[in-house]
Amino acid sequence: MVLFYLLLGFFLFFLQHLLPLPAPVRLDLLTLFLVFVTLRADFIVAVVLALLLGFVLDCYGLAPLGVQVALLLTAVVGTALVRRHFNFLYILPQIAGVAVIMLLQGLVMLGLLHLLLPVPVVYPTMVWQVLLQLSGTALSAPLVLGLFNLLEKAWRRWLLQKSVRTSLET
């Protein structure tokens, strides 16, 4: 399954970086992906994926290396913490949980940028953008997480069929 997560993670990374969508329209697919992996797979797998994808994201971004890693790691740790209070099996807790996780990410990012950049990072327009992206991503969470779930099921089915075919052949 690690291969599946790796492939899906990189696919989402490319998808997110190919389209110049303005910030509010742009869903944070990688955060949702890491929420999904943390919920479904082992915590360690999620952390390793966050480190790997975060580093690649950092290479393509303007922030110093490590900032995107910190952001994705926040998503993993946030999910691990939030899942105790929100039941991710249901739609409303999913939306609320993702909103909390993204809020945590926003706070971490603001803190890091405040420390690392020489210019002020908070503008009134930005608060609006953050809120729009947060609500957009949180509201789409049930749909996107459901889609990831379907893809994972399809992958498992394919693996099963492949192994059955191989065993029959041998």
Residues of this chain that interact with another protein (CB under 8 A) are 10, 14, 17-23, 26, 43-44, 47, 50-51, 55-56, 58-67, 69-70, 73, 77, 109, 112-113, 116-117, 119, 121, 123, 125-126, 129-130, 133
The widest CA-to-CA distance across the chain, in whole angstroms, is 66
CB of 161 to another protein, least distance (A): 28
CB of 15 to another protein, least distance (A): 9
- Please give the structure tokens belonging to residue 95: 């939306």
Q: Which of 18, 117, 110, 6 is nearest to 51 (CA)?
A: 6
CB of 94 to another protein, least distance (A): 22
Q: Of 134 and 170, which CB lies nearer to another protein in the complex structure?
A: 134
Q: Of 1 and 80, which CB lies nearer to another protein in the complex structure?
A: 80
- Please give the structure tokens belonging to residue 69: 């890693």
CB of 69 to another protein, least distance (A): 5
Identity of the amino acid at 143? L
- Please give the structure tokens belonging to residue 130: 């953050």
Tell me if 105 sits within 8 A of 94, measured CB to CB: no
Q: Of 51 and 168, which CB lies nearer to another protein in the complex structure?
A: 51
Count of Cβ atoms closer than 10 Å to residue 163 Cβ: 10
Q: Specify the DSSP class assigned to residue 64.
A: P
